[in-house]
């Protein structure tokens, strides 16, 4: 597609290209009069008179999806047969950019991010809307511990355009549900995609790999490889939850995507309600540590504690007002912190330690 930098779409001047996908380019735009900035998503297609109303209908629907974890659509239009959307700008970039493939995430991030995305998708499903393209590239960082889901409806818009091709699907083959490959998208298709992403967050790789057609064939016919064979420290309960989302039959998945997030969170708890460390990360969430509980009670910031919003974890500790601090995302050293190092950090920060820290 032609580079549109320095050109004008609607009330925005396009400053620079900040992203490209299978069927859309994203520019950073500046409002001509207000000076405010937004992300301008330009679809890689031309729409004739027959498709303009289809685009406008979809754009209005997307604009009506208002949720703390969904990117807001501020405006839309068609100029010279070029359809575009004006959206909130997320300067943190996508989760794919911040979390490289092959890097498992700590448990606290997995639980928080799954909860946020499930909240957003459940809201959309309750509005009779399916995303169809859930993937890390469409999860944008609002801040260090909060995600925004983008690109609602763009797959559907592209599908109804004359320029649609399999190129738009190729980038998402790793997460596409079997029924969606067969052209029968269902709300449970979004759950399948999120489940495949969680599988990748846990193990470092999506469940199926290979050429495009090989991946499609595996989604349709092959059982996903065991998570515990890849990462033995994953609990059987967590593996069961994730594999439930990857059932070939949508009816065999969770009835609602929010049930998946709840079940995943519960799978990380013992009978006493304490979260477990996972995937060899070397990190136990801060709410597990007695020293952190004392720090919170003293009004200090806890360690390694992402916040799940709008709903929160079930642990009482996470209802504290100052529970939003998290470290910079996914430093490689964070995956290799030993118990002794954790104890030293807590002593340096709080001046005391509980023996449970180094158990």
Q: How confident is the model at residue 38 (pLDDT cuts 50, 70, 90)?
A: very high
Q: How far is CA 113 from its chain centroid?
A: 6
Is there a single domain that holds both residue 199 and residue 263? yes
Confidence (pLDDT) at 104 = 84
Checking if the pLDDT of 219 tops 50, the result is yes
Confidence (pLDDT) at 156 = 57
Q: Supply the DSSP string of 317-342, one letter for each residue.
A: GGGSTT----PSTT-GGGGG--HHHH
Is there a single domain that holds both residue 156 and residue 223? yes
| CATH code of the domain containing 78 | 3.30.200.20
Q: In what order do the strands lie in the sheet with 73-79?
A: 8-9, 12-20, 24-31, 37-43, 82-87, 73-79
Higher pLDDT, 212 or 152: 212
In-domain check, residue 2: no
Average pLDDT over residues 29-58: 85
Confidence (pLDDT) at 157 = 55
The Cα–Cα gap between 220 and 213 comes to 11
Is there a single domain that holds both residue 197 and residue 302? no
Higher pLDDT, 245 or 318: 245
Higher pLDDT, 100 or 83: 83
DSSP 140: E
Is there a single domain that holds both residue 198 and residue 114? yes
Is there a single domain that holds both residue 116 and residue 190? yes
Is there a single domain that holds both residue 67 and residue 122? no
Please name which of 109, 88, 96 lies closest in space to residue 29, comparing C-alpha atoms.
88
Considering all CA atoms of the chain, what is the largest pairwise distance in Å, rounded to the nearest integer?
Answer: 71
Q: What percent of the chain has pLDDT over 70?
A: 68
Number of domains in the chain: 3
Is there a single domain that holds both residue 354 and residue 212? no
Ranges 63-67, 150-154, 267-271, 286-290, most confident:
63-67
- The residue from 119, 133, 151, 190 that is catalytic is 133
146-195 per-position pLDDT tens digit: 999 998 766 555 544 444 333 344 338 999 999 999 989 999 999 999 99
Confidence (pLDDT) at 54 = 78
Confidence (pLDDT) at 153 = 64
| CATH code of the domain containing 209 | 1.10.510.10
Average pLDDT over residues 6-35: 91
Is there a single domain that holds both residue 119 and residue 226? yes
Domain that holds residue 299: 286-307+314-358
**Residue 237 burial (CB count, 10 A):** 14
Strands 82-87 and 24-31: unpaired
Confidence (pLDDT) at 194 = 98
Is there a single domain that holds both residue 62 and residue 141? no
Higher pLDDT, 297 or 197: 197
Checking if the pLDDT of 297 tops 70, the result is no
Both tokens of residue 249? 């039959």
- Mean residue pLDDT of the chain comes to 75
Confidence (pLDDT) at 265 = 94
Element (H, E) at 264: helix 257-267
Average pLDDT over residues 82-108: 86
Checking if the pLDDT of 49 tops 60, the result is yes
Confidence (pLDDT) at 172 = 82
Is there a single domain that holds both residue 104 and residue 232? yes
Is there a single domain that holds both residue 137 and residue 257? yes
Confidence (pLDDT) at 325 = 30
Is there a single domain that holds both residue 131 and residue 261? yes
Q: Return the minimum-mean-pLDDT range out of 110-114, 117-121, 246-250, 270-274.
A: 270-274
In-domain check, residue 274: no
Q: How confident is the model at residue 348 (pLDDT cuts 50, 70, 90)?
A: low
Confidence (pLDDT) at 110 = 94
In-domain check, residue 136: yes
In-domain check, residue 279: no
Average pLDDT over residues 43-69: 82
The torsion angles phi and psi of 46, rounded to 5 degrees, stand at -110, 140
Active site residue 190: no
């Amino acid at each position: 597609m032609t580079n549109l930098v320095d050109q004008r779409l609607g009330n925005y001047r396009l400053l620079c290209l900040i992203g490209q996908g299978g069927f859309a380019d994203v520019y950073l735009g500046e409002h001509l009069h207000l000076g405010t900035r937004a992300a301008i998503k330009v679809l890689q297609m031309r729409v004739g008179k027959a498709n303009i109303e289809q685009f406008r209908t979809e754009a209005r629907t997307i604009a009506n999806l208002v949720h703390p974890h969904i990117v807001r659509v501020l405006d839309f239009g068609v100029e010279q047969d070029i359809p575009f959307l004006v959206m909130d700008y997320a300067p943190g970039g996508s989760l794919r950019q911040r979390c490289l493939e092959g890097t498992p995430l700590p448990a606290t991030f997995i639980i928080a991010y799954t909860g946020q995305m499930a909240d957003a998708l459940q809201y959309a499903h309750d509005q009779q809307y399916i995303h169809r393209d859930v993937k890390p590239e469409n999860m944008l960082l609002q801040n260090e511990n909060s995600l925004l889901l983008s690109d609602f409806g763009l797959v559907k818009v592209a599908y109804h355009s004359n320029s649609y091709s399999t190129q738009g699907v190729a980038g998402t083959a790793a997460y596409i549900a079997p029924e969606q490959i067969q052209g029968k998208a269902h709300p449970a298709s979004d759950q399948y995609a999120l489940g495949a992403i969680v599988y990748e967050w846990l193990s470092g790789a999506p469940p199926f790999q290979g050429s495009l057609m090989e991946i499609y064939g595996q989604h349709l016919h092959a059982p996903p490889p065991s998570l515990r064979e890849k990462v033995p420290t994953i609990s059987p309960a967590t593996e069961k939850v994730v594999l439930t989302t990857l059932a070939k039959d949508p009816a065999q998945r969770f009835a609602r995507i929010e049930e998946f997030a709840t079940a995943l969170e519960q799978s990380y708890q013992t009978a006493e309600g304490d979260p477990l460390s996972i995937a060899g990360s070397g990190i136990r969430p801060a709410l597990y540590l007695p020293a952190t509980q004392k720090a919170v009670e003293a009004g200090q910031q806890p360690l390694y504690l992402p916040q799940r919003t709008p709903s929160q974890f079930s642990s009482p500790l996470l209802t504290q007002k100052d529970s939003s601090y998290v470290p910079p995302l996914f430093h490689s050293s964070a995956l290799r912190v030993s118990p002794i190092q954790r104890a030293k950090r807590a002593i340096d920060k709080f001046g005391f330690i509980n023996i449970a820290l180094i158990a």
